[in-house]
Amino acid sequence: MTKVKGRVAVVGLGPGDLDYMIPAVYKAIQGAEVVIGYKTYIDLIKPLLEGKQVINNGMRKEIERCQLAVEMAEEGKNVVLVSSGDPGIYGMAGALLEVKEEKNSEIDVEILPGITAVSGAAASLGAPLMHDFVVISLSDLLTEWEVIKKRLYHAAAGDFVVALYNPKSMGRTTQIQEAVEILLRHRNEETPVGIVKNAKRHGEKVVVTTLGKMLKEEIDMTTVVIIGNSNTYIKNGKIITPRGYSL
Ligand code: SAH
């Protein structure tokens, strides 16, 4: 007898509002037998989950969720594993593939992209990402702080626009201050900064400020911060990084 081959689709929900989720993700969730995810994200898609087996668990249980997804797919089930934003950007795609390889599993895996926080935030701020940019997570849970600092330094030296994910949490408050100090070694205090909390979802808050003043603003784990390059400017409340067109 041939074994029924299950599958896992790792899907990105986008920034949070269902209008910003791509139709392919919507269809994958509709077609799933089992939906696995962190509770906050499962709550976002509740209207789509009727009649499905739903498994939600807490924060920092990423590997458990992936192991479960692979095991259930091996039983022949059609599984969806949900991630916020884009699953391939600090999301569940990498962990799922690592767990699959570690188990030598032959299940099918499909990764469906989503709008990542930085694109949602950029759209609300104007056009800050029109030139080369880097994304750096300030979370040192899985990455050494020394490595993060080195990347910040070189991003600043290279005059990249810099987007910060996981900028500050209740227990992690000094990293954002150090990040600003490092950026100020290569950029002046007037450099435009955009701070977006809850980008493209309920409760969105958009702040346009500067590198010298940004630490006075509210920044937390539902916030993404975008720091301009040396050419970025603010006009009528919007942040613009020029692409280089002659107008
Ligand atoms: N996979 C996600 C990122 C997960 S890391 C994505 O692609 O967007 C978690 C961090 O992402 C948060 O600490 C915050 O910095 C950022 N983030 C995620 N969604 C956000 C939103 N809607 N608004 C602002 N920041 C968000």
Residue 67 maps to which CATH number? 3.40.1010.10
Candidate from 201, 224, 226 with most ligand 1 atoms within 8 A of CB, to mutate:
224
Candidate from 11, 90, 135, 164 with most ligand 1 atoms within 8 A of CB, to mutate:
90
Q: Supply the DSSP string of the chain, one letter for each residue.
A: -PPPP-EEEEEE-BSS-GGGS-HHHHHHHHH-SEEEEEHHHHHHTGGG-TTSEEEEE-TT-HHHHHHHHHHHHHTT-EEEEEESB-TTSSSSHHHHHHHHHHTT---EEEEE----HHHHHHHHHEETTSS-EEEEE---SSS-HHHHHHHHHHHHHTT-EEEEES---SS--SHHHHHHHHHHTTS-TT-EEEEEESTTSTT-EEEEEETTTGGGS---TTEEEEE--TT-EEETTEEE-------
Are 6 and 73 in contact by the 8 Å Cβ rule? The answer is yes
Same domain, 121 and 236: yes
Beta bridge partners of 182: none
Same domain, 209 and 234: yes
CA distance 40 to 56: 9
Output the CA 95–ligand 1 centroid distance in Å: 17
Overall number of domains in the chain: 2
Same domain, 122 and 235: yes
65 inside domain: yes
Same domain, 75 and 160: no
60 inside domain: yes
Output the CA 169–ligand 1 centroid distance in Å: 13
Q: pLDDT value at position 5? A: 79
Output the CA 223–ligand 1 centroid distance in Å: 7
103 inside domain: yes
Same domain, 154 and 226: yes
Domain of 28? 7-112
Output the CA 246–ligand 1 centroid distance in Å: 34
Output the CA 225–ligand 1 centroid distance in Å: 10
Q: pTM of this prediction? A: 0.96
Q: How many Cβ atoms from other residues are within 10 Å of residue 2's Cβ? A: 4
1 inside domain: no
Pocket residues for ligand 1 (CB within 6 Å)? 15-16, 83-86, 89-91, 116-117, 120-121, 165-167, 196, 198-201, 221-224
Q: pLDDT value at position 50? A: 94
203 inside domain: yes
Residue where a domain stops, chosen among 112, 136, 159:
112
Residue where a domain stops, chosen among 112, 133, 167:
112
Q: What CATH code is carried by the domain that includes residue 161?
A: 3.30.950.10
In three state form, how does the secondary structure of 95-110 look? HHHHHHHHCCCCCEEE
Are 124 and 206 in contact by the 8 Å Cβ rule? The answer is yes
Q: Which residues of the chain have pLDDT under 70?
A: 1-4, 59
Are 90 and 165 in contact by the 8 Å Cβ rule? The answer is yes
Long-range Cβ contacts of 141-149 (<8 Å, 24+ apart): 145/175, 148/175, 149/178, 149/182
Q: Whose CA is nearest to atom 17 of ligand 1?
A: 117
Same domain, 100 and 200: no
Residue where a domain stops, chosen among 112, 130, 150:
112
Same domain, 96 and 127: no
Same domain, 103 and 150: no
Please classify residue 206 by burial: count the beta carbons closer than 10 Å to its beta carbon, then call 0-12 exposed, 13-18 middle and 19+ buried.
middle
Q: pLDDT value at position 3? A: 62
42 inside domain: yes
162 inside domain: yes
246 inside domain: no
Same domain, 101 and 142: no
Same domain, 50 and 154: no
CA distances from 117 to 44, 101, 113, 167, 181 (A): 16, 28, 12, 12, 24
Q: pLDDT value at position 40? A: 87
Question: Model confidence over 21-44: pLDDT tens digits?
Answer: 999 999 999 999 999 999 988 998
Same domain, 128 and 160: yes
Candidate from 25, 84, 124 with most ligand 1 atoms within 8 A of CB, to mutate:
84
Same domain, 104 and 142: no
Output the CA 117–ligand 1 centroid distance in Å: 5
